[in-house]
Each structure stands twice: as structure tokens, then as C-alpha cells.
A and B are shown apart, each in its own frame.
Chain A
Amino acid sequence: MLNFNPSLIIPELFMAAVLIALFVQCLSDRLKDKVSWIVGAAFLGTLLTAFSPTHPQFMFYESFRIDALSQFFKTIIFLGLTICAGNAIRIRSLSNANRADYFLFMFLSAFGLLLLASTVELFTMYLALELASFSLFIMLPLRNQDLGAVEGTVKYVLFGAVATAIGLYGISYIMAGMHTTYLRELLGMEWSFAQHPMAMIGLTLFLLTFLYKLALFPFHFWAPDVYQGASNETATFAATMPKVGAIVILVRLMSFAPGIEVKAILAVLAVVSMTLGNLIALRQNDVKRLLGYSSVSHAGFVVIGLVAGGAYGLAAASYYALVYMLMNLTIFWVVTRISRDEKNVLITDLRGLYSSSPILAFVLAVSAFALVGLPPTAGFIGKLFLFNTAWAEGFQWLVIIGVINTALAIFYYLNLVRHAYTLDESTPSKINLGPAGGSVALVLALGVLYLGIMPHGIFNLLLHASQGLLS
């Protein structure tokens, strides 16, 4: 049944309207640089989504589902988009001519992610993912005369093409094994290698597509290059939003409770990803590249929750997705503010940050400590939830490797704080932050602390959402 009910998809319709407006702006020379309204639009989208109905409903021939999980992820996608757009609004590495186009593609990519949050059919997922990816492919190299950006993009595109091809191949196996591509029907199937070997292989292959988006080992090679190559503003978007989209699909797929074969593969990948990401990050000088490897390690942490599975595990993974997005948006916000002439920020550039901007130094410290997983920040509580579920499901070794990874990671995050607070430049020049730059930074930092101190409301919501997913 088509079951078209516009009141349920107000956020998507709103987004489509924004996209049309942006498209019109692209065509007109006079309107091209008047883009500051989009931050407000994205924020309005956040509010629209946050107060949208969450009662489970199918639409579009059961390929699209509105439920608590989808609306939660749409809200945080809009929220992240608001911050990404606000971060990029003054982007200087673009000529004015390109400005509207840049935001058109950013919002188009976010639109793909919004759809992704609601899709419950394998091919629809695939299409939504491609919409999100292709727009991003165009956005990434938009940096003045920078070959690094092109290099990162080429890696991303080639990897992405292969990964999605593998995913498509996986769908064919699932179809052959289970005779359906609807999640609702797949949920009731027996996902074990003994029963449906073909479908299990297909599921693994399909998962790989999203693990690539998540930058999990061994699909992580693009992350550091893209982070380093793309402009600071684009990297902010690329580092956070596609991962949120990937996590929502992984959460939906892992609600099948697949057998130990898939879980074992994921667990091993998580371990390698955490450890490798942290070890390589120890040696980085470029802050964005460092964050690229840190994201590889965080991908491993998210997968801990997915491996554990069950309502608690999936809720913990979803919570960590939110935490991950917020931590990274916060630290990227700082990096973008520090950067001079759109250049990449090296660790040594952080020297004396406390003298040049105490607010940024504080926000950097909060986000770095959150990334380590130090209480009372969100990073700690998110990891605690993941560890609890993994231990309860019998993955004690995964928890132990996880906590040891905290010890591995501490140096390079602390190094950021150390440079900001203790290594003084002789003549620190003040960073002109402006009221907006400073207040958004503080709000982000407070958000990271809030999620660490008061997690129960959101976590309960996610718990209900994932219970709804499993029933």
C-alpha cells in the first residue's frame, strides 16, 4: 500500500523545499551568495523532526517506516546539519559563485541520510545511501587548488564504489536465500549459517557497505585522507553525518540478531579497528588526520554495541552515535576556528591556545576528554553503556580490549590539551572568535557534558525505540 500521509514526512518535505530553494539560488547569479538563511532552516528542521509523531507506521509500499528510532536519528541528523552549516557558513576556500552549490550538495547529502534513517527495504537503503554518498563526492574536492582534497576524494569514491558494489552483490545473496528484501519479513527469519548460509554471506557483504561508511577496519583507508584533504568545514560534515547514517542502518540490520558467525567477524574487526586506529593516531601531527584515525577507533567502539545486540546493545550503539557526532562536531568546530587561511591545523598550532582564546581551549579540552572517554563527559557514559551490554552478552574480552584501548588513546588526546594549556607561545595573538563562534562552541561543550551527566532521558527513548525494532 502506498499509504501516503504527508503529515508523517513533514521533515522530509521541508528538506525537499529547502533543496528546491537552494537549487533556484544556484541558478541565479544575484542570489548565489545569500545563503545564511540555511542555518536557521536546518534548525527549524531539527525542531520539526523533534516534535514529529513517532508511532510506528509504514509508508510507500512498506519500504519506508516512521518509528522512534528513525525520528531520533533524523533529529540528530538535522541537528548535526545545523552545526555543520553554521560551521561552513563563512567558508573562504570557496568563491562566492560556488557557495549555494556547496550547500545544495551538503543538504542533498543530508537528505539522503534522512531517507536512510527511515528505509526498511534493502534496495531503498541502497538508493538512499547512494544519494547521500554522491552528493558528498562532489562536495569533498571543493577546496581551492588543493591536490590533497582531490586525492582524498578519489580514494573515497573508489572505495565507495567497490563497497557499494559489494553491498549490492550481498543483496542478491539475501534475496536468493530469503526471497525477500523487506526488513519486516527478514526480521522473522532464522539468521544462522546452518539454516541460511547464503543469506548470512549476503548479510555480511551488505554490512560491509555500511562499515565502509563507518570507516571500520579494513575499510578505513579513506578516512584519514579525506579528513586531511578536505577543507575543515567539509571534513566536519564528512566526519560526522555519514557515520550517523551508517549506524542507523547497522542498528536496523543487527536487529535480526544474526548468528555468532557475523558477530564474531564484527567483534574481530572492532578489536582491530580500535587498536589500530589508536596506535596510528599516536604518531600524527595533523589534527584532522589524527581525528581521522581516532574515528577509526571510535567505529570499533560503536561496533561493540552492535555485536552485543539486543535492545540494550542497539540502544547503546545509537546513543554512542549521538555522542560520537557531538564530540566530533565540537572538536571540529574548534579546529575550524583555529585554522588560519583555511589551512590544516597541526598539533603545534594549538600552542598557547589558552592565551589566545580561553573559550576554545576549554571546549577543546572538553571534547578531547570526551573522546578519551573520561568522566563526566558523554564519551565515558557512552562507553560504559557499550561495555555493560557487551559484558552481559558474554563478550568480556571485547570489553577488556576496549578499556585497554582507552589507555592507548589517552596520550594523543591529552597531547592536544597539553599543547593548548601548557605550551605557551611568546606572543600569542588573540583569535577573533565573534559572539556566535564562542557561544556555539560553549553550547556544544555543554551538550557533551550534559549527555554525560544526564543520559537517562535520551537513553530511555532509545531503549524503547530499539525494543520496538525487535518486536
Chain B
Amino acid sequence: MPMTGFPMLSVLIFFPLVAAIALIPFRNASAIKVFTLVVSLVECLLLLPIIVAFDTTTASFQFVEKLAWIEAWNIQYYLGIDGISVLMVLLTVFLLPLCVLCSWRYIGQRIKEFNISLLLMTSVCLGIFCALDFVLFYIFWEAMLVPMYLLIAVWGGPYRRYASLKFFIYTLTGSTLFLAAIVAFYINTGTFSIPELMNHYYSFQFQFWTFLGMTLAFAVKVPIYPLHTWLPAAHVEAPTAGSVLLASILLKMGSYGFLRFCLPLTPAASDYFAPLMIVLGVISIIVGSFLALGQTDMKKLIAYSSVAHMGFVTLGIFVFAFRGIEGAIMHMVNHGVITGGLFLMVGLIYERSHSRELADNRGVSTALPAYTGFLLLFSLAAFGFPGTNGFFSKMLVLLGVFHANFWLGVFFIIGMILGLAYLLRLLLIVGWGKPSQVQPDWKDMNLREWIYLAPLGLLVLYLGLAPGKALSFIDPSIDNLLSDFQRERNMIRQAAPEQRLPHFLAERTNTESDIFLRVEDPAIAPKKDRSTGAFGE
């Protein structure tokens, strides 16, 4: 079902944006909150046709919208989703009402601006997952920085200025070379359209450099060790809703980028760099876990655990196995659900104790039984207890990893055990530690808190016990991704085995002018005719 006629995705993307503009004249604080909540629920309703109409038998892009935008440069307004992006779209929209609800009391000043930023953030994130034109993607990709920066810098904790600046500079600097890579792709093929770019073949050297340019941007977002240092700062200082968005959506953009761009566009380079990415993924898991183990701040602990979790995702992607990628995508969603839930838990207890230190929040199980129950659920899911969603996706990744290399699987298990250690530590101290103070006035979760935690709790169980529906969404696309990947990788391997030698840099002297040209070898005939370049002939 390529065209539905009705611009479903545009409505989904721009409805929050329009709502944000409509919010500007509001004055009354509670009216603002109610309005935003209604908007976010309507946005969720807009998802229904997508869930119902999504065709689970095809790998092609669906709900496609394609309009000429800047004709002189062949830039299009091109949207569409497939199995790789659909779950992220669902998750992004799903989290919006929860973010609104969890900030209901937490945000005390500039409420209107906060809600506007939340809506803008949703809009831009959806744009990132739906864009199929490189320029459109990059516009959303960079525009995302501004609302996120404001969320951290205005409503954050005591060190918010440092954290927000670090976040902004890190992510922007990482993305600059990505822009150069986009320009290189365009000059090489004459198009910015991502599906069209996937139909071209590129020389190994071209892939080498563009892969590096793109991966720097994605690796900062994921984040992969050693580019992760912005993450704990940003997570700790951001308000709860900001942390949830960061952990659940923003980090996924990096791994989504790997799947959407690196693997299909630069398969040979992905293959070439896979050992590096896998090693960095393993380091992220181990280092992230050990750092999480040593934290006394609950938010920091969860932030470092995100580094470790995203290491699992990176690992799953770069073993190039069906189960590995399936697990990686599922874990992107599951980590969004679980970590989002954990951050909400921290925000919840912070509203009571006004501290995120483990020492100040010990032994709350008698005072807050329901809270402890949810904490238990999310922690179990985070370390992959069977029956929860975390178990399921980690198991899939593990299958892929073991399939690729036995010792890699061993490291994976070590990472999981470390995960068990730091999460149990959190759970035991907060739940059943020696109470840090008498807490007569701490009330258990109220209705609002139930409303925003229960859906996540149900998702943990649903995705853990019945993941079939979600898998059916993503499987055709993964199949397609991997078969294309293997075919193109093998073609490069067969066509130019000498190009795979690591010392190709030494060959630059005679091939310098060809670095950015496509392979013209007749042995690798392109799938389709090369479209005319950017400038005609």
C-alpha cells in the first residue's frame, strides 16, 4: 500500500507543531496542561490508522508522501515508514502523553514554554523517523537540538547550563561531518532521496569516508564509548520528561541511523568497520555497567545503564545476523519503554524526597508499596528477567551474537550479569534498604502517577509475553535490509578484493580523484541507470 492519498505522516508530524503554535496565546497554567494533554491523546489516536493499515507483508516504504521541494537541487519532501521506523514512530507518540503527565506538578515555572518544547520535540522526532530525503532528515536531525537544549537548559537541575551546552556542542559537532557525507552522496548520484540512494553502488573508498562521517554523528547519539560523556550530564540535569525523551527516543536515533543509512548505503564499509563497532559496543557494555555499579545518584545510574544497553543494540546491529538486528530493533523499543519507566520512577520519588541520591531514598517499600512494585517490574525487565520485554530482545540479540562469535557471546553474558548487579543494587537499596529517614508524609502513587506508569508496565509485559505482533511489523524490512546488505557487500568483495586491504590509504596517490566517484567497473553493473548528476553532464 504505497500511497494512501491522505497525508497521514504529515498530519502526525505537524499536528503537535500546530498545537504548539496554538498554545502561544494561552495564559492559564492548568488550561495549558489540559490542552497539551488533549493534543497528545489526539496524536495517539492518529496512530490507530497507522497501526491498522500498516502492511506487514512488505518491506517497502508505506504511507509515502513525495513532493518536489527545492527542485534546483532535487530536494524532496519525502516521507514514509517501514519496519525499521514504524515502532520508533509508535513509541515517540506513545510517550508524549506520559511526558505531559509526569511533568504536571514537576514543572513549576514557564509551563507554557515547557509544553511547547515538548510538542516541538515530538514533532521533530517523528520527522526524523519518517523522513526519506537526506536533507529533510538532516533538517529534523539538527532541529531536534533546539527544543532538547531548552528542555535541559531552562528546566534542568543545578548544573543544567553545563550539561545543556555539552549536549548541544557534542551532538552538533558530531553531525557536521554527516552533512559533508550527505553532500558527497548527492554529488555522486544527483539525488537526496534515501530509497534511490540505496539503489546505487559506491566504491569502497567512498563508502569508507561516508561511513566515518555518518557514524560519528550516530555514535555520539547512541552513545558509543568514548563519545558517551555528554549523556550522564544531560540525563542527570534534564527534568524527568527530558530524561525520558533523551533515553527513549533520542538515543534510538543513533542506532536507527546505523540501520537506515550505514548498512544499506555503505555495506562494505559497515562490514569493514564492524570489528571496531563491535569492540566499542562491548566496551560500552562493560564500561557502562561498571560505571553504573558505582553511582550513588539514581539518575546517573540509569544513564550509565543506558550506555550499556545501547552497547547491546550496537552489538546486535553489527553482527549482521537476522536475529541480531531483530533483537536490536526490539531492544531499541524495549529500552525506551523500560528506561523511560525507570526515569519516571526516579522523577516520582524525587517529587517526594527532593533528592536523587540512593542514600536519601532507602527502604521505601513499606511506605510506597505500589511504587516498589513498579520499580521491581522495570528493574527486572531492564536486566532481562524471563517474561519481560527486556529478556526477549536481549535473547534475540544473544542468538545473533553467539551465531557470529562464541567469545562475543561470552562478553555479552558478562554484560548481562553486570546489569543484574547494578539493577539489583538499585532495587535492594531503594526497595528494601535500611530506611534513610522517617517518612510519614510520603504518599504512595496517586491516580496521575498510576495513569502514566501503568501503560509502560503493561507494555513491558505485553512485549515480553506476546511480541509476535511487533515482530511481524519489523521482520520483512529486516529480511530485505540483510539480503540487500549481503548482496552489495559481496559484490564489492568480489569486484575489488584489493580494495579491501587496510593499506588502501597508500593507494590514494593514484586514485585520489576517484575517491569520491562510484565504481565504474562493468563487473558491478548498477541495478539501475545512474541518474544524471547534479549538474547535468
- Of the candidates B72, B139, B143, B160, which one forms a contact with A422 in the assembled complex, judged by CB atoms under 8 Å apart? B160
- Given A375-B142, A396-B516, A406-B176, are A384 and B72 neighbors across the interface (CB < 8 Å)? no
Listed by A's residue number, 25 A-B pairs whose Cβ atoms lie within 8 Å are A312-B72, A365-B146, A374-B142, A374-B145, A374-B146, A374-B172, A376-B143, A387-B179, A387-B180, A388-B187, A391-B187, A392-B534, A396-B516, A399-B183, A403-B176, A403-B179, A404-B176, A406-B172, A407-B169, A414-B165, A414-B168, A418-B161, A422-B164, A456-B70, A456-B71
Is the pair A384, B179 in contact by a Cβ cutoff of 8 Å?
yes
Is the pair A421, B153 in contact by a Cβ cutoff of 8 Å?
yes
Residue A410 at the chain B interface, CB threshold 8 Å: yes
Is the pair B184, A391 in contact by a Cβ cutoff of 8 Å?
yes
Closest to A419 in B: B161
Is the pair A392, B150 in contact by a Cβ cutoff of 8 Å?
no
Is the pair B176, A460 in contact by a Cβ cutoff of 8 Å?
no
Closest to B70 in A: A456
Residue B273 at the chain A interface, CB threshold 8 Å: no
Residues of chain A with a CB closer than 8 A to B149's CB: 414
Closest to B138 in A: A375
Residue B177 at the chain A interface, CB threshold 8 Å: yes
- Complex Cα distance A384/B173, Å? 16
Is the pair B143, A456 in contact by a Cβ cutoff of 8 Å?
no
Residues of chain B with a CB closer than 8 A to A396's CB: 180, 184, 516
Is the pair A407, B139 in contact by a Cβ cutoff of 8 Å?
no
- Given A375-B139, A418-B153, A456-B71, are A411 and B169 neighbors across the interface (CB < 8 Å)? yes
Residues of chain A with a CB closer than 8 A to B535's CB: 310, 312, 392
Residues of chain B with a CB closer than 8 A to A463's CB: 72
Is the pair A376, B139 in contact by a Cβ cutoff of 8 Å?
yes
Residues of chain A with a CB closer than 8 A to B173's CB: 407, 410
- Complex Cα distance A159/B138, Å? 41
- Complex Cα distance A365/B187, Å? 32
- Of the candidates A310, A400, A414, which one forms a contact with B180 in the assembled complex, judged by CB atoms under 8 Å apart? A400
Residues of chain A with a CB closer than 8 A to B140's CB: 375
Interface size of B as a range = 35 or more
- Given A312-B535, A380-B139, are A410 and B72 neighbors across the interface (CB < 8 Å)? no
- Complex Cα distance A124/B220, Å? 54
- Complex Cα distance A418/B140, Å? 21
Residue A459 at the chain B interface, CB threshold 8 Å: yes
- Complex Cα distance A404/B178, Å? 11
- Which chain A residues numbered 420 to 471 have a C-beta less than 8 Å away from chain B? 421-423, 455-456, 459-460, 463
- Complex Cα distance A423/B160, Å? 11
Q: Using a CB–CB distance below 8 Å, which chain B residues touch chain A?
A: 69-73, 135, 138-140, 142-143, 145-146, 149-150, 153-154, 160-161, 164-165, 168-169, 172-173, 176-177, 179-180, 183-184, 186-187, 516, 533-535
Residue A369 at the chain B interface, CB threshold 8 Å: yes
- Smallest beta-carbon distance B171→chain A, Å: 10
- Given A392-B535, A421-B154, A460-B72, are A380 and B168 neighbors across the interface (CB < 8 Å)? no
Residues of chain A with a CB closer than 8 A to B73's CB: 384-385, 388
Residues of chain B with a CB closer than 8 A to A411's CB: 165, 169
Residues of chain A with a CB closer than 8 A to B138's CB: 375
Closest to B141 in A: A375
- Smallest beta-carbon distance A54→chain B, Å: 18
- Complex Cα distance A363/B382, Å? 43
Q: Helix, strand, loop or mixed for chain A's interface? A: helix
Residues of chain B with a CB closer than 8 A to A391's CB: 180, 183-184, 186-187
- Smallest beta-carbon distance A368→chain B, Å: 11
- Complex Cα distance A407/B142, Å? 12
Residues of chain A with a CB closer than 8 A to B69's CB: 456
Residues of chain A with a CB closer than 8 A to B177's CB: 400, 403-404
Residues of chain A with a CB closer than 8 A to B169's CB: 407, 410-411, 414
Residues of chain B with a CB closer than 8 A to A459's CB: 70, 72
Is the pair B161, A422 in contact by a Cβ cutoff of 8 Å?
yes
Is the pair A460, B71 in contact by a Cβ cutoff of 8 Å?
yes
Residues of chain A with a CB closer than 8 A to B534's CB: 312, 388, 392
- Smallest beta-carbon distance A365→chain B, Å: 8
- Complex Cα distance A392/B142, Å? 24
- Smallest beta-carbon distance A411→chain B, Å: 6
- The interface bits of chain A over 153-175 (1 if a CB of B lies within 8 angstroms of the residue's CB, else 0) are 00000000000000000000000
- Complex Cα distance A400/B69, Å? 26
- Given A369-B146, A411-B169, A422-B161, are A388 and B186 neighbors across the interface (CB < 8 Å)? yes
- Complex Cα distance A411/B138, Å? 20
Given contacts A365-B146, A403-B179, A422-B153, 8 further A-B contacts (CB under 8 A): A380-B139, A380-B142, A385-B73, A387-B179, A410-B172, A411-B165, A414-B149, A421-B150
- Complex Cα distance A310/B537, Å? 13
- The interface bits of chain A over 377-389 (1 if a CB of B lies within 8 angstroms of the residue's CB, else 0) are 0001100110110
Is the pair A384, B160 in contact by a Cβ cutoff of 8 Å?
no
Is the pair B154, A422 in contact by a Cβ cutoff of 8 Å?
yes
- Complex Cα distance A391/B183, Å? 7
Residues of chain B with a CB closer than 8 A to A369's CB: 146
Best-surrounded residue of B70, B161, B169, B535 (most CB of chain A within 10 A) = B70
Residues of chain A with a CB closer than 8 A to B165's CB: 411, 414, 418
Residues of chain B with a CB closer than 8 A to A460's CB: 71-72
- Complex Cα distance A418/B167, Å? 13
- Of the candidates B72, B139, B187, which one forms a contact with A456 in the assembled complex, judged by CB atoms under 8 Å apart? B72
Best-surrounded residue of B139, B145, B154, B533 (most CB of chain A within 10 A) = B139
Residues of chain B with a CB closer than 8 A to A421's CB: 150, 153-154
- Which chain A residues numbered 161 to 215 have a C-beta less than 8 Å away from chain B? none
- Complex Cα distance A399/B183, Å? 9
- Of the candidates B135, B150, B154, which one forms a contact with A384 in the assembled complex, judged by CB atoms under 8 Å apart? B135
- Smallest beta-carbon distance B170→chain A, Å: 10
- Smallest beta-carbon distance B26→chain A, Å: 14
- Given A312-B535, A418-B153, A456-B71, are A387 and B183 neighbors across the interface (CB < 8 Å)? yes
- Smallest beta-carbon distance B330→chain A, Å: 31
- Which chain A residues numbered 308 to 323 have a C-beta less than 8 Å away from chain B? 310, 312, 315
